[in-house]
């Protein structure tokens, strides 16, 4: 260290900073990695199409299944491709009340997406709060919260949701609440796992010692660094929420047929499946399957791209 007498002017000789990487560039990198899987891109296209169809349902659907006045008993059980009293082709046929299946499926998708996305978002917020609280405060708080989570995860989600819907009653809000209670635990556990790793790092210690207020350390320092794994869990949980809602509706505790969701459509059609009227339940089933599989495929690719071991 005898050369310590070099001037500070030489500090500028340090390697220049890497070129500025903006948020836009990181997004671009993410996209080029994501694009590597053709299947995932196809799945993303499918999801976007389904979302457009679902939320544009009033514009694209030939019929409004909520409007009982538009239903005609004479149209009941039309086969796919037949023309009804409305004068248009029922591409996927009609059900026992004369509902156009294609329209019912679009509106059903809308309900399913609404429920899946809001339940997922709410569960994410609650799960993050619980997980961060447990990881940051540690000790008894952590033990208590995580044991509750473990207990809950040891029960099948469908069982918990069934009980809750039975208690809360039917309706979109009630279903969302039941799904949130059944699913927040997954987010909480993932957040807790990631936050336990991050909380030991020096930058958290530095922020605490400054000192910064606890909420700031939690939300500005800890949270942004535990977010990537949560994005993956979120996609998978949205798919799970949609499937769970369909299951509840199929079991008859979900939504009534007047507010069609994919599950209630399948449930309604199931009664006629042995009378050769397969289209009542098969088509909503296919749409449900495509939706859930597509979301999971996208989630898988996001997981791969965000994996630190994933070579660029």
Partner 1 sequence: MTAPLLEIDTVSKRFPLKATLADKVAARLAGRRAGGAVHAVTDVSLTVDRGEVVGIVGESGCGKSTLGRIVSGIYAPTEGTVLLDGKPIATGREDHVNKLTTRVQMIHQDPFASLNPRMKVGETISEGPRTHGIVSASEVTDRTRALLEQVGLRGDYADRLPHQFSGGQRQRIAIARALAMQPDLLVLDEAVASLDVSIQAQVLNLFLDLRRDLGLTALFISHDLSVVRHVCDRVAIMYLGRVVELASAERLYADPKHPYTQALFASVPTLGTGRQDFRPIKGEIPSPIDPPPGCAFHPRCPFAGPRCRAEIPRLTEAGSGRTVACHLNDGGVGQEAAA
The answer to whether 15 contacts partner 1 (rule: CB under 8 A) is yes
CA 226 – CA 199 distance, rounded (Å): 10
Our CB check for partner 1 shows the closer of 189 and 221 to be 221
Q: Looking at 119, 207, 232, 242, which residue binds partner 1 (CB under 8 A)?
A: 207
Nearer to partner 1, 85 or 143 (CB): 143
Q: Is 139 in the site for partner 1 (CB under 8 A)?
A: no
Instruction: Write down the least CB distance from residue 147 to partner 1, Å.
Output: 17
The region that residue 17 occupies, defined by phi over 0 for left and psi between -120 and 50 for alpha, beta otherwise, is beta
Q: Which of 97, 114, 216, 273 binds partner 1 (CB under 8 A)?
A: 216
Q: Which of 21, 82, 150, 307 contacts partner 1 by CB under 8 A?
A: 21
The C-alpha atoms of residue 284 and residue 305 are separated, in whole angstroms, by 32
* Residue 167 binds to partner 1 (criterion: CB under 8 A): no
Taking CB under 8 A as the binding criterion, the range among 90-98, 153-161, 175-183, 219-227 that sits at the site for partner 1 is 219-227
Sign (positive/negative) of CA torsion 272, 273, 276, 277?
Answer: positive
Can you say whether the dihedral through the CA atoms of 271, 254, 191, 298 is positive or negative? positive
Which residue in the set 60, 205, 271, 293 belongs to the binding site for partner 1 (CB under 8 A)?
Answer: 205
Least distance from partner 1 to the Cβ atom of residue 238, Å: 24
Kindly tell me which residue out of 90, 189, 221, 277 binds partner 1, with binding defined by CB under 8 A. 221
**Nearest partner of 48 among 241, 294, 283, judged by Cα:** 294
Count of CB atoms situated within 10 Å of the CB of 112: 31
- Is residue 275 near partner 1 by the rule CB under 8 A? no
Q: Does 212 bind partner 1 (CB under 8 A)?
A: yes
Q: What is the 3-state secondary structure (H, E, C) of 76-118?
A: CCCCCCCECCCCCECCCCECCCCCEHHHHHHHHHHHHHHHHHH
With beta carbons less than 8 A apart as the criterion, state whether 101 and 95 touch: yes
Residue 35 sits in the site that holds partner 1 (CB under 8 A):
no
**How far is the CA of 135 from the CAs of 106, 125, 145, 210, 226, in angstroms?**
42, 15, 10, 20, 11
DSSP 2: G
- Please report whether residue 276 would count as binding partner 1 according to CB under 8 A: no
Query: According to CB under 8 A, which one of 24, 211, 274, 275 is a site residue for partner 1?
Result: 211
Tell me the helix, strand and coil percentages in the chain, rounded to 5: 75, 0, 25
Q: Tell me whether the omega of the peptide bond preceding residue 211 falls within 30 degrees of 0, making it cis.
A: yes
Residue 94-133 contact track with partner 1, rule CB under 8 A, x = bound: ----------------------------------------
14 touching partner 1, by CB under 8 A: yes
69 binds partner 1, rule: CB under 8 A:
no
> In angstroms, what is the C-alpha Rg of the chain?
25
For residue 79, state whether it binds partner 1 (rule: CB under 8 A). Answer: no
* Binding footprint of partner 1 on the chain (CB under 8 A): 1, 3-4, 6-8, 10-12, 14-15, 17-21, 201-203, 205-213, 216, 220-221, 224-225
């Amino acid at each position: 260290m005898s050369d310590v007498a070099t001037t500070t002017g030489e500090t500028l000789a340090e390697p220049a900073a890497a070129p500025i990487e903006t948020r836009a560039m990181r997004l671009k990198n993410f996209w080029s990695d994501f694009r590597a899987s053709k299947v995932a891109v196809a799945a993303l296209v499918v999801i976007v199409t389904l979302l457009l169809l679902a939320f544009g349902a009033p514009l694209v659907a030939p019929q409004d299944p909520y409007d009982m006045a538009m239903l005609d008993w004479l149209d009941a059980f039309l086969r796919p491709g037949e023309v009804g009293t409305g004068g248009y082709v029922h591409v996927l046929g009609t059900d026992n009340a004369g509902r156009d299946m294609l329209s019912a499926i679009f509106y059903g998708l809308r309900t399913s997406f609404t429920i899946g996305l809001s339940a997922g978002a709410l569960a994410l917020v609650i799960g993050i709060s619980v997980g961060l609280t447990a990881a940051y405060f540690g000790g008894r708080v952590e033990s208590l919260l995580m044991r509750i989570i473990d207990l809950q995860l040891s029960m099948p989600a469908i069982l918990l949701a069934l009980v809750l819907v039975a208690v809360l009653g039917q309706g979109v809000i009630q279903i969302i609440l039941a799904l949130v209670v059944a699913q927040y635990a997954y987010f909480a556990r993932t957040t807790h796992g990631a936050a336990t790793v991050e909380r030991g790092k020096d930058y958290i210690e530095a922020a605490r010692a400054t000192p910064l207020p606890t909420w700031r350390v939690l939300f500005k320092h800890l949270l942004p660094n535990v977010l990537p794994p949560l994005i993956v869990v979120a996609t998978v949980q949205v798919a799970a929420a949609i499937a769970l809602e369909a299951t509840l509706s199929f079991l008859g505790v979900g939504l009534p047929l007047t507010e069609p969701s994919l599950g209630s459509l399948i449930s309604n059609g199931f009664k006629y499946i042995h009378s050769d009227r397969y289209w009542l339940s098969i088509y909503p089933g296919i749409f449900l399957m495509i939706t859930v599989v597509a979301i999971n495929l996208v989630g898988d690719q996001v997981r791969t791209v965000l994996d630190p071991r994933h070579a660029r």
